[in-house]
Amino acid sequence: MGWWDSLWASNSSDDPLRNLDPKLREFLERESPVKYSTAQQQQQPRAKGEQITAAAAAAPTISEAEEQQKGAPVVPKESQFQDGRYAHLWKTYRPLAEIEAETKSEHEKLMDVLEAYKERKNQIGKAALENCALEQVDWRQCMSNPTVTERMTLCRDQIKKFEKCYMTQTRLLKALGYLSTHDRSAEAEEEIQMHADTLYHRMLSQEAEITAAREEGRPIPKFPPLIPRLDQQKQAQQPAEEELLTPEQQEILKARLKKVPEEDRPAEEEAVRAEFRAKAQVASQVQELWKKQEQDRLARKARGEETLWDKVTGAFRTDNGK
């Protein structure tokens, strides 16, 4: 009778699921984000009042309202269906990294902190190389197909250009706080990388203007520093930062600044201070891990579950304390 129903489109469109198996229909009504309603179901609420129907259609369910109030998605980002399907299957889901973090030993956690610090240095170098891609291309072209002058100079100009770009980009990335925090998104880190590249090209244009002014005999123009914080808040923050630096760190900073040209010293100073802050953050994390280890050891000792390793480490800690 399918051909007969096709003649009456109004009747066939009342319930698009009426010819399905009851179990399959129940499954679709429960899992599908699109809810179908028959003509009888639509007419019954209208008899009670259209305002009640509109309010019921617009009002979310209790679970959806709770999720909206919490500001959390119905399903985690790992789900392929972000519309809420199969949300009941994701209720007990936990990321693998979270589970592994709970099962790691204290030594593994300590190594993770140190490896993250080393990886940050590598990532800063990779980001600087990405920003200096054009300089790398010029260097490679010079080495593969040099002119007579470039052959005689062994591509010295291209090498200096690349080294300057790499060193300056590294300083700017450190000074801007690239990968300095763990809770920053990848988009924010990419913006910092792009901003460092913008500052470098701004520095090149400023150097070109200064060179042109010297050749033409004009007064040398003054430009604000690449990092405005050095000029705007130098007098307000510099004394406080000097107090935070130990005498050894101050000597290291002075020695580093003597090795760079005067125009590069502001960026180098900020880069060195950023390195000190990163090392202080790693030291703080290590201290927290050691403190947690000591608390766990004392808790096991209080329960009478002290291990041989706990006794050995406790003896060393007591000797060091004396």
Ranking 100-104, 138-142, 201-205 by mean pLDDT, the lowest is 100-104
Return the higher-pLDDT residue of 35 and 106.
106
Closest CA to 199 of 166, 175, 227, 223: 227
Distances from the Cα of 283 to the Cαs of 1, 81, 165, 186, 247, in angstroms? 79, 42, 31, 25, 18
H or E element, residue 148: helix 148-153
Q: Give yes or no: residues 122 and 262 share one domain.
A: yes
Same-domain pairing of 71 and 45: no
- Residue 229's contacts (CB-CB under 8 Å, 6 or more residues apart) are 237, 270
SS3 245: coil
- Range ranked top by mean pLDDT from 15-29, 119-133, 171-185, 279-293: 119-133
Question: Domain check: are 20 and 116 in the same one?
Answer: no
Q: Is residue 316 part of a domain?
A: no
pTM across the whole model: 0.58
Q: Is the pLDDT of residue 230 over 70?
A: no
Q: Please give the Cα distance from 123 to 129 (Å, whole number).
A: 10
**pLDDT exceeds 90 at position 129:** yes
Task: Kindly indicate the confidence band of residue 155, based on its pLDDT and cuts at 50, 70 and 90.
Answer: very high
* More confident site: 43 or 23: 23
**Do the beta carbons of residue 8 and residue 28 sit within 8 Å?**
no
pLDDT at 316: 60
Does 302 reside within a domain? no
- Considering the domain architecture, whether residues 87 and 44 belong to the same structural domain is answered as no
Q: Is residue 119 part of a domain?
A: yes
Average pLDDT for 169-185: 85
Mean pLDDT score, 9-29: 63
Q: What is the pLDDT of residues 242-270, one digit of tens each?
A: 447 888 888 888 888 888 888 788 888 88
Whether residues 49 and 123 share a domain: the answer is no
Residue 53 lies in a domain: yes
- Residue 197: exposed, middle, or buried by beta-carbon count in 10 A (0-12, 13-18, 19+)? buried
Q: Examine residue 157 and state whether it is found in any structural domain, yes or no.
A: yes
Residue 322 in this model has a pLDDT that exceeds 70: no
- Domain with 79, as residue range(s), is 65-91
Please indicate, yes or no, whether residues 179 and 69 belong to a single structural domain of this protein. Answer: no
Rounded Cα distance, 29 and 36, in Å: 8
pLDDT exceeds 80 at position 49: no
Q: Are residues 36 and 172 in the same domain?
A: no
Q: Does 87 share its domain with 144?
A: no
199: nearest Cα among 270, 278, 140, 137: 270
Say how many domains are in the chain. 3
Tell me, what's the pLDDT at 130?
94
**157-184 as b/e, with b when 16 or more CB fall inside 10 Å?**
ebbebbebbbbbbbbbbbbbbbbbeeee
Instruction: Determine the pLDDT at residue 9.
Output: 47
Q: Is pLDDT of 52 > 50?
A: no
pLDDT band per the 50, 70, 90 thresholds, residue 72: low
Average pLDDT over every residue of 72-85: 78
Q: Is the pLDDT score of 33 beyond 50? A: yes
Q: Is residue 216 part of a domain?
A: yes
Residues 52, 126, single domain; the answer is no
* Dihedral (Cα; 98, 99, 103, 109), 10-degree rounding: -20
pLDDT class for 313, splitting at 50, 70, 90?
low
For residues 38 and 16, give the distance between their C-alpha atoms in angstroms, rounded to a whole number: 8
Q: Do 135 and 18 share a structural domain?
A: no
Same domain, 132 and 28: no
Domain annotation covers residue 312: no
Instruction: Assign 54 to helix, strand or coil.
Output: helix
